[in-house]
Amino acid sequence: MKGRITNFRGSRRIKKGNQMIVEVEGADDKARAEKLIGKSVSWVAPGKNKTTINGKISAIHGNSGCVRVLFERGLPGQSVGTEVKIE
């Protein structure tokens, strides 16, 4: 399953570097997004090294099927808008 990182989680002034909001393909509402809680997520960095950062879906975000993902390390700003793999 695929997803797309939409934004960092945080307030207006403080952003959480390791928490991201992910929009999941096929999850259009709250009920479908709740079934994904606990699944693992991986993001692969672009470039020649292909560093992988893993995370876990922790909660839903809103009513439109977005989820909150806690990664083991902070993600760079270039990750916003890129795809993640959900297993």
Beta bridge partners of 71: 55
Give the pLDDT confidence of 14-24 residue by residue, as tens digits: 988 899 999 99
Query: How many CB atoms are closer than 10 A to CB 32?
Result: 13
pLDDT at 16: 84
Give the pLDDT confidence of 45-60 residue by residue, as tens digits: 999 999 999 999 999 9
Strands, DSSP E only, in 1-87?
2-10, 15-24, 40-44, 52-61, 66-71, 83-86
Average pLDDT (9-14) is 91
Q: Which domains does the chain have, with CATH numbers?
A: 2-86 (2.40.10.190)
